[in-house]
Amino acid sequence: MNLQYLNFDLGAFFYGVAGKDVVNYTGWWTDYYSSFQGAKSKSALADAWTTTNKNGRLPIVENSSNFSNQAVFNSSLLENGSYLRLKTLILGYTLDKKALGRTGIEKLRIYVQAANLFTVTEYRGLYPEFIGGDTAFGIDYGNYPNQKQFLIGVNVGF
């Protein structure tokens, strides 16, 4: 999307994916893994199956590995990985020739740019946009998310 009004310009680039399923493998470590008995996630404590919470999203939390928790793949690790991200936003102002006078500069544009400002998603992992390898396609192993970036720039034309 590009908009222009007088000497101002605004550009935005949105990027998204719909219908993507992701295996949130980091959730296995925090919700299931029995070796971390003292370091369970909030979901494992509040949203696991118990005799009083029979509609829990996660299976029963146990200290041993068995068929209901980590011995076999559990569909509670499969999540909707759809997202919409604002990848780039640029706001610029171009000085006209009158303002530049006799400096010898034909065009001067000042701009601010931001990257990866926000992501709209229901995915509970760190980052729904990740690259899986040949053997890990669609599995999130806890890849580090893209970082926000803020830039200030000047375009000069002589």
Read off the pLDDT of residues 69-95 as tens digits, 9 standing for 90 and up.
666 677 788 889 899 999 999 999 998
What residue ranges of the chain have pLDDT lower than 50? Answer: none
DSSP 144: P
Alpha carbons 8 and 128: distance in angstroms, whole number: 34
* Domain segments of the chain as ranges: 1-20+81-158, 23-79
- The whole-number pLDDT of residue 66 equals 61
pLDDT at residue 36, as a whole number: 60
- Alpha-helical segments (H) within the chain: 25-31, 42-46, 97-100
Residue 118 is predicted with a pLDDT of 92
pLDDT recorded at residue 35 = 55
Q: Quick one: pLDDT at residue 71?
A: 62
